[in-house]
Amino acid sequence: MTETKNQSVWKNFIHLIRQIRLPILLIGIAFLLNFGKAEIELLIPEKIADLTGFEFTGTGSAAVKTAVSICIMIFVLAAVEFVGVMAATYITYIAKARINRDFQAVAARKVFYLTTEEAEARDPKEFISRITTDTGFVSDFLIDLLVMEIPRLYFLVSTLIKVSRMGNGMLLLGFVLVVPVIVLGSFWSGHVTYKSQTRLQNAIARLTARLAEKVEHAEIIKAYNRTEDEIADGEIFIDEMRAAQKKTTLATAFNQLVANVLFVVPTLIIMTAGALQLIAGDISTPQFVAYYGLGATYQKYIAEHLTLWVLAKKAQGATRRISGILMLKEDRGGERQTAGSGDLTFENVSFSIGGKKILSDVSFTVKNGSKFAIVGGSGAGKSTILNLLEQFYRPEQGRITLGGVDIRDFEIGSYRSLFSYLPQNAPGFDGTVRDFLCYGSGTPHSDEELKELLREVDMTESVEAMGGLDFEVGPGASKLSGGQRQRLAVARMLLTGAGTVLADEATSALDFEGSRRIASLIDKYAAGKTRIIVAHDLSTVQDADMILVLNKGRVDGMGTHAELKETCPAYRRLLTAGEEETA
């Protein structure tokens, strides 16, 4: 997974925050509540100190009455603090959940807009854990920073001012000495946390990616009797995660130890400084009590500040990883709205993936409203041509134009809406048959209309046997047969009704008869529209206005069926192979 190494992590963090809408009101309320809490915590030690300054002369005396009223005040303050803390915790939780939701939405949105090249350059399944867990670390840190840190600093600074007002250098020194101890400790545990957490997050990402891939294709694993091997291979990832977890557990234990040391050592420092001054008679008992009371909370706040540092370290790695995704190129295209129809032209297009040449110097023109076929052996580059037309990829050299305009100049959404695209293998998503059919069509369709379409693709009986349009097709439309999926995909493509049809092996899963029926159905529905048809069954495209013969990414011939039969040996070979297949 790419991580942005050179950019400052803080710049990335700010950039990340600017992409979301902060719940300002909730944050404001929680902030004020925490501020109030700090204020009360500053007050209580002084009130307790006041209690120690009385000379009690008997029950009912003025001193006792004052003492009781001070006790009541302390009780009320503590109760208010308790309720305030509960409210603050709840509101902070809601604010954090909102922030996290926004981060997840931003990252998920980005993943969907990535160019295919960017997505393919890494394992897209690793994006999952970036979105599900890394975002949480960033939210944890951000909310602590926004809601808690300033009240905390306010308490710390106010305490130092209060202690310095006691006019005793030794007391102040005690408080100041505490700081380097805690800062050093927190730096150290932050570093340990960062390292172990980064390792764990990477291990989680790899394990998630692997499970997502292998579980999805469990049948292949079973068919090849590879179950035990896959389990053994998978355990490497599980072990990797276990090792990473061991490190994070050690880091947590280490942090606990540091936290304990950070409690004991500062307590000793503060106690010693106070006690020495008390014994020397340089401060009074009430002063000592106030000093010590403030000291206990002072330490607690500094320890919480340490937590912020640990959170920052976790967020640092997570920010890097999320920003690594956010920095990738998006698939938005240009500004221009498409003018609609026009001739589609490939001008000397070459294209490679990962250094491997896939298309070399490919040129052709698809006349507006014509039927254009692309034929060629497996791996010749037929699907790649459709992928370039859909702008999933961009040419490395040369250009593709529509009506004379480079397709890159068009706004991508308006450009893609020109096409009814039928991808190879007719993939589908979880949902009903109705959802499958209407995916992307944009307008509602009546049951009658859908049933008419099912009749056209010879699916009436099959869908009725499934229980109708509300039948759930399962994840990846896995409850449909390959042929059923292909027929429904053709129906879906026809329903889209866009001006240009891009059909990649629309009938490859169908038998001879079925293939021809569906091919002529596409012709009937799309008559007068531009049709770019990739076909291995050459009989379905013999009537095409133009046939492009591809061979290993190069154009081997172009012309009508009659012309190619005369002039193109590669086309004749394909014809012969097709005849043998159907014989």
CB of 416 to ligand ATP, least distance (A): 19
Token pair for 543: 């009537």
Site residues (vs Mg ion, CB under 5 A): 383, 424
Q: Phi/psi class of residue 281: alpha, beta or left (left: φ > 0; alpha: ψ in -120 to 50)?
A: left
* 158 binding partner (options Mg ion, ligand ATP, none; Cβ < 5 to 8 Å by kind): none
CB of 552 to ligand ATP, least distance (A): 8
Our measurement of the distance from residue 251's CA atom to the centroid of its chain's CA atoms, rounded to an integer in Å, reads 27
Asked if residues 537 and 374 have their Cβ atoms less than 8 Å apart, the reply is no
Q: Phi/psi class of residue 363: alpha, beta or left (left: φ > 0; alpha: ψ in -120 to 50)?
A: beta
- CA separation for the pair 409, 229 (Å, rounded): 49
Positions 421 through 460 that interact with ligand ATP (CB under 6 A): 424
* 120 binding partner (options Mg ion, ligand ATP, none; Cβ < 5 to 8 Å by kind): ligand ATP
Q: Rule CB under 6 A: is residue 475 a binding residue for ligand ATP?
A: no
CB of 243 to Mg ion, least distance (A): 42
User: Could you give the maximum distance between any two Cα atoms of the chain, in Å?
Assistant: 125
List the one residue from 46, 120, 343, 361 that touches ligand ATP (CB under 6 A).
120
Helix, strand, coil percentages in the chain from 3-state DSSP, rounded to 5: 65, 10, 20
Q: Which is nearer to ligand ATP, 49 or 375 (CB)?
A: 375
The per-residue b/e assignment along 285-295, b for 16 or more CB within 10 angstroms, e otherwise, is ebbbbbbbbbb
Q: Which is nearer to ligand ATP, 265 or 353 (CB)?
A: 353
Nearest to 362 by CA among 549, 561, 572, 560: 549
Q: Which is nearer to ligand ATP, 274 or 553 (CB)?
A: 553
Q: Which is nearer to ligand ATP, 318 or 502 (CB)?
A: 502
User: Which positions from 357 to 386 touch ligand ATP by CB under 6 A, shown as an x/- string?
Assistant: -x-----------------x-xxxxxxx--
CB of 376 to ligand ATP, least distance (A): 6
Q: Which is nearer to ligand ATP, 291 or 421 (CB)?
A: 421
Element spanning 401, H or E: strand 397-402
Helices 24-52 and 150-165, interaxial angle, to 10°?
A: 20
CB of 387 to ligand ATP, least distance (A): 7
* 60 binding partner (options Mg ion, ligand ATP, none; Cβ < 5 to 8 Å by kind): none
Closest residue to Mg ion, judged by C-beta, is 383
* 384 binding partner (options ligand ATP, Mg ion, none; Cβ < 5 to 8 Å by kind): ligand ATP
Phi, psi dihedrals of residue 411, rounded to the nearest 5°: -65, 130
* Residue type at 226 in one-letter notation: R
Element spanning 98, H or E: helix 62-113
Instruction: Please provide the DSSP assignment of 131-181 as one string.
Output: IIIIHHHHHHHHHIIIIIIHHHHHHHHHHHHHHHHTT-HHHHHHHHHHHHH
Q: Which is nearer to ligand ATP, 117 or 282 (CB)?
A: 117
User: Which positions from 382 to 421 touch ligand ATP by CB under 6 A, shown as an x/- string?
Assistant: xxx-------------------------------------
Q: Which is nearer to ligand ATP, 134 or 537 (CB)?
A: 537
Token pair for 250: 């050690």
Q: Rule CB under 6 A: is residue 121 a binding residue for ligand ATP?
A: no
Q: Whose structure tokens read 């593709």? A: 400
CB of 233 to ligand ATP, least distance (A): 23
Phi, psi dihedrals of residue 32, rounded to the nearest 5°: -65, -40
- CA separation for the pair 503, 518 (Å, rounded): 12
Q: Rule CB under 6 A: is residue 482 a binding residue for ligand ATP?
A: no
CB of 383 to ligand ATP, least distance (A): 3
* 380 binding partner (options ligand ATP, Mg ion, none; Cβ < 5 to 8 Å by kind): ligand ATP
Q: Rule CB under 6 A: is residue 8 a binding residue for ligand ATP?
A: no
Phi, psi dihedrals of residue 493, rounded to the nearest 5°: -60, -40
CB of 114 to Mg ion, least distance (A): 22
CB of 385 to ligand ATP, least distance (A): 7
Token pair for 90: 């709840």
- CA separation for the pair 96, 519 (Å, rounded): 54
Asked if residues 511 and 488 have their Cβ atoms less than 8 Å apart, the reply is no
* 378 binding partner (options Mg ion, ligand ATP, none; Cβ < 5 to 8 Å by kind): ligand ATP
Site residues (vs ligand ATP, CB under 6 A): 120, 353-354, 356, 358, 376, 378-384, 424
